[in-house]
Amino acid sequence: MWATKNFIEMAEQQYTEDSIKSLSWSEHIRLRPGMYIGKLGDGSSQDDGIYILLKEVIDNCIDEYVMGHGKVIEVTVKDSLVKVRDYGRGIPLGKVIDCVSKINTGAKYDSAVFKKSVGLNGVGTKAVNALSSEFLVQSVREGKKKVAEFEQGNISTDHPVDESGQRHGTLVKFTPDEAIFGKYHFINEYIENMLWNYAYLNTGLTIYFNGNKIKSENGLKDLLEHKIDEEIQYPIIHLSGDDIEIAMTHGNGYGEDYYSFVNGQHTTMGGTHQGAFREAVVKTIRDFYKKDFDAVDVRASIIAAVSVKVIEPVFESQTKTKLGSQYMEPDGQSVKAFVGDFMKTALDNFLHKNEEVANALLKKILQSERERKDMAGIKQLAKKRAKAAAVHNRKLRDCKVHYNDIKEERRLESTIFITEGDSASGSITTARDVATQAVFSLKGKPLNCYGLTKKIVYENEEFNLLQNALNIEEGMDELRYNNVVIATDADVDGMHIRLLLITFFLQFFPDLVKKGHLYILQTPLFRVRNKKETIYCYSEEEKLEAMEKLGKNPEITRFKGLGEISPEEFKYFIGKDIRLDPVIISKDDGVPQMLKFYMGKNTPDRQDFIIENLKVEKDLVEDAA
């Protein structure tokens, strides 16, 4: 008792004024970057922090364009250096430093200037500045120029105002700090996709990315035409009104596919506007056809984009991925009523005026209704089997944090590893972070499901269990893990399993791939060590560098499979230094064409492809020997 009392008194004595610390604005951002940009990452995921930094800078350029200033934005990304130049009004010269280094400073608090801005928190470029090893801002207006340079948020050079013959506007250059992000890399496809979204939502705006022109004339209609790589049931319906634009059609796929935006911000997790659209589509169609369709049948295979503009939008995080606003403006009409009223009028009028489209839409809904009823019994039986099998086979070792738990800050870290074999899954299960990492064990090679209907997903135990583990039967809304990672051996069999799994996802759940959730786990091929140091190498080049570094006769181990890597070592490969290769479908590669080439019947083209790549496989085998 005395010891406890004495400990409490000591603790109280240590809590003094010296215990209270005040951080500068940049120190706080660097200490808690997740509060400002979400997760960090190394650039392999499209929601990693380095892309959020770029987005924050571009958002300011877009706000200028929306207010009628500057029709061109230039974006250059080379290695780790990012440059963004707009031709708007330029930051007022006396406030250039404040705007990038003082929290709660900016023009966007004045709704008369920026009525429907993307960012209202006055944090964006400050976070970019604080999280960059080098940051430069330049503003040109009224024939004068102001430049300021920073390092990790601290001003390094305050250039005086000078005369300038350059066009007015703002230039920002920055290099994300490796002390925060580690060894990162930009993926151009992610940046290009982001910039195209800006173009679709701001018709007439021209963006140059590394010299390539990005421009849209037809808004969300262009977006859908760009994204859709399957046969559609009817021409895209494109409707617009004050503060709202929608485009929609139905395809042949499974589930629902949405692209939603608020004030030009891509709300990847949806929100009140997307929910309102989904309800409004069902209600309008029921009213038009005077039939009480099941909502699932109306929305099955829908592909749609919706954009709204809201005064002072409320998002559910600083990264603005989900709209939380209930109203279009303070004390105004609800988002649900606004979207519903627009759809009731615009979509209803369109269907009355376009009989062929209305007939095609009705045909698709009735087809979905028949398919759902035909599948009802199979689904019910499959769910029972999946529940029983999951209990007895322990296929899934779950984690505590899930992607669809919007209240959990770490949800973006939620990961499921799909592994082959008991030894590999056992090692990963032992080494994983049980809070955010789950493991699903495969039993042998999956079925080649190319060309098969979704009925096979319920009849095939492996696919049915995997679908249930991911919780994607009804679409991506309830996806349980942000990162779905295929973890197979780096040999011929492992490559084949990867291809079969990718085929499964592209065939039945293409949105999982298109929206950047699918990855390949990279594990080391070699371990090079001496008595003092161990280096894990992912390529022959890295092995040679390690051998040179460690000197005479280091021990070299070639990992032939994941099962050979112990749990003690696996923790290095699935921890903070995890290497993930995203599965990216290029806009030039249609999913149906890719599946036909790789997984369809043998064709001369594919045979030529295999023969040309035999040398690569031969080299791999020789390296392993």
DSSP state string for 470-489? HT-TT-GGG-S-SEEEEE--
Q: Classify residue 9 by burial, with Cβ atoms within 10 Å: 0-12, 13-18, 19+.
A: exposed
Whether 383 shows a pLDDT value over 80: the answer reads no
Whether domain 394-523+559-624 has CATH 3.20.20.70: no
Return d(Cα 79, Cα 210) in angstroms, integer.
12
pLDDT in tens, 427-481: 899 999 999 999 999 888 899 888 888 888 888 888 988 998 999 887 787 899 9
Give residues with Cβ within 8 angstroms of 504, minimum separation 6. Answer: 446, 449, 463, 466
State the CATH architecture for 220-371: 2-Layer Sandwich (3.30)
> Percent of the chain beyond pLDDT 70?
84
CB 487 within 8 A of CB 562: yes
Q: Give residue for tokens 């590999």.
A: 424
Q: What is the pLDDT of residue 607?
A: 55
Return d(Cα 252, Cα 453) in angstroms, integer.
11
**End-to-end Cα separation, the chain, in angstroms:** 66
* 592 phi and psi angles, rounded to 5 deg: -60, -40
Q: Give residue for tokens 């400990």.
A: 7
pLDDT in tens, 19-54: 666 678 788 889 888 888 888 889 998 889 999 999
CATH number of the structural domain 28-215: 3.30.565.10
Q: Classify residue 448 by burial, with Cβ atoms within 10 Å: 0-12, 13-18, 19+.
A: middle
Q: Give residue for tokens 């003690």.
A: 568
Q: Give residue for tokens 């300011």.
A: 60
CB 470 within 8 A of CB 484: yes
**Residue 550 — pLDDT band, cuts 50, 70, 90?**
very high
pLDDT in tens, 198-220: 999 999 999 999 999 999 999 99
Q: What is the pLDDT of residue 63?
A: 86
* 163 phi and psi angles, rounded to 5 deg: -70, 150
Average confidence score pLDDT of the chain: 85
Fold match flag (28-215 vs 394-523+559-624): no
Q: Domains of the chain: which residue ranges?
A: 28-215, 220-371, 394-523+559-624
Distance of CA 550 to CAs 103, 523, 527, 557, 577, Å?
Answer: 47, 21, 12, 14, 21
Whether 556 shows a pLDDT value over 90: the answer reads yes
- Which amino acid appears at position 303 of this protein? I
Return d(Cα 128, Cα 192) in angstroms, integer.
20
Higher pLDDT, 562 or 219: 219
Higher pLDDT, 575 or 117: 575
Return d(Cα 103, Cα 129) in angstroms, integer.
11
CB 212 within 8 A of CB 227: no
Which of 27-31, 100-104, 114-118, 376-380 is the least confident region? 114-118
Whether 623 shows a pLDDT value over 50: the answer reads no
pTM above 0.85, yes or no: no
